Amino acid sequence: MSALVLGIGNRMRGDDAVGSLIIDQLRDVAGLKAIDCGTTPENYIEPVVALKPDRILLADACSFGGRPGEFRLFEREEIDRLAAGFLSTHTLPLTMTVVMLEQQTNARIQLLGIQPENIQFGETLSAPVASALSDLIQHIKTWAQGEL
């Protein structure tokens, strides 16, 4: 089983950077492929397809009504629901990337959503999101082993 994590976010917008920062910490994890997609995950469809992953995890800040720093694993069906009505910081809606991945891979696609506190330009990670980083990394390592 091959697992791939796609970190999505803008390093200049506070908690929106969390997806990219996760990838920074996963680069040296054996057996796990990780790509920092920044704000344009649609630009990475071809490299993802070439890797032929069985499972894809999108790690991204998203508002799901949780406490800042709280994270949840969402299945494919829930991604569309989460995207409805929310302002996106991405070039294209995340759902378009998911559809393109579905069309070109046979991978199971999930979203690890991290509740942001602040996504303002020029800000750093909020304290709740920063303190959740080590738990996020452990959660992803467990996911990569097929245990979630």
Q: Spell out the per-residue pLDDT of the chain, length 148, in tens.
A: 699 999 999 999 999 999 999 999 998 888 899 999 999 999 999 999 999 999 999 999 998 899 999 999 999 888 877 765 444 555 567 888 999 999 999 999 999 999 999 998 988 999 999 999 999 999 999 999 887 6
DSSP H helical segments within the chain, as ranges?
A: 18-26, 45-51, 76-83, 94-104, 127-144
- The tally of CA atoms less than 13 A away on the side-chain side of residue 115 is 10
Instruction: Name residue 135's amino acid.
Output: D
DSSP 42: G
Q: What is the CATH number of the domain that holds 62?
A: 3.40.50.1450
Residues 6+ apart with CB under 8 A from 83: 93, 94, 95
Give residue 15's domain range. 3-144
Q: Give the total number of structural domains in the chain.
A: 1
Dihedral pair phi/psi, residue 74, rounded to 5°: -110, 135
pTM (2 decimals)? 0.91
pLDDT of residue 84: 59
Of residues 45, 39, 43, 5, the one with CA closest to residue 22: 5
Rounded to an integer, what distance in angstroms lies between the CA atom of residue 10 and that of residue 16?
A: 5
CB 17 within 8 A of CB 9: yes
